[in-house]
Chains A and B, each alone.
Chain A
Amino acid sequence: SAVISQKPSRDICQRGTSLTIQCQVDSQVTMMFWYRQQPGQSLTLIATANQGSEATYESGFVIDKFPISRPNLTFSTLTVSNMSPEDSSIYLCSVSVGEHAEAFFGQGTRLTVV
């Protein structure tokens, strides 16, 4: 298993500003995943963060809007840049470890943009 500490747990931000979300894992992992979850909807993968290389972004997500850092095997950050109300969502970081590579998640960051 893995324990992931994610912060902040929630924030209310002004449009046009940026917020950086941090995730710390209690073990070394090759890949970390960043998701967005709108209320009542599925998890949407934003990007996969590998240590030592640029993150891989999914269709509809770009590095300028969601820059990611992965300085080591236990830590990653996601920045939501130039925020608009449409960015209001829950953001989750995740790693896949264990016998079946099951996903473990941070506690989530509930972002509200006003």
Chain B
Amino acid sequence: GQNIDQPTEMTATEGAIVQINCTYQTSGFNGLFWYQQHAGEAPTFLSYNVLDGLEEKGRFSSFLSRSKGYSYLLLKELQMKDSASYLCAVLDSNYQLIWGAGTKLIIKP
């Protein structure tokens, strides 16, 4: 079966750095996405990786290792508004999105 694993919850301090990990086992791979979802809102697109390596976009970076079936989302200079759930999703061989359950990130002052 297809599976995506993320930690259920993480806590970090305002101004700090946090890394949210995602491991996946899917039938094929056509890219990995990270989404941010604030409570009561729809997910919004953060990043996309299809090749190994690091993609940087402002305070957020995303890393991919296809051989390890592993990705992480790195958030720097954390702000209170970063408190949200972060969803990892993989596009499989049928171009269907497989979603992780999300990691709830709690930012403390």
Contact (Cβ within 8 A) A108 B41: yes
Known contacts A100-B31, A102-B48: does B42 contact A42 (CB below 8 Å)? no
Q: How many residues of B contact A (CB 8 A)?
A: 23
Known contacts A42-B99, A42-B100: does B48 contact A103 (CB below 8 Å)? no
Chain B residue nearest in CB terms to A92: B42
Contact (Cβ within 8 A) B99 A43: yes
Q: Closest approach, in angstroms, between the C-beta of A21 and any C-beta of chain B?
A: 13
B91 at the interface (CB under 8 A from A): yes
Which residues of B sit under 8 angstroms from A100, Cβ to Cβ?
31, 33, 48, 50
Known contacts A100-B48, A104-B45, A107-B41: does B101 contact A41 (CB below 8 Å)? yes
Chain A residue nearest in CB terms to B95: A101
Known contacts A92-B42, A106-B42: does B97 contact A42 (CB below 8 Å)? no
Which residues of B sit under 8 angstroms from A106, Cβ to Cβ?
42
Which residues of A sit under 8 angstroms from B100, Cβ to Cβ?
42
Please, how many angstroms separate the alpha-carbon atoms of A101 and B89 in the complex?
A: 12
Contact (Cβ within 8 A) B48 A42: no
Q: 0/1 per residue, A53-82, Cβ < 8 Å to B?
A: 000000000000000000000000000000
Which residues of A sit under 8 angstroms from B41, Cβ to Cβ?
107-108
Please, how many angstroms separate the alpha-carbon atoms of A105 and B89 in the complex?
A: 14
Please, how many angstroms separate the alpha-carbon atoms of A101 and B95 in the complex?
A: 10
Q: How many residues of A contact B (CB 8 A)?
A: 19
Which residues of A sit under 8 angstroms from B99, Cβ to Cβ?
42-44
Contact (Cβ within 8 A) A103 B87: no
A45 at the interface (CB under 8 A from B): yes
Chain B residue nearest in CB terms to A96: B97
Among B43-78, those with CB < 8 Å from A are 43-45, 48, 50
Please, how many angstroms separate the alpha-carbon atoms of A109 and B31 in the complex?
A: 28
Q: Closest approach, in angstroms, between the C-beta of B21 and any C-beta of chain A?
A: 16
Among A80-114, those with CB < 8 Å from B are 92, 96, 98, 100-108, 110
List B residues at the A interface (Cβ < 8 Å). 4, 31, 33, 35, 40-45, 48, 50, 87, 89, 91, 95-97, 99-102, 104
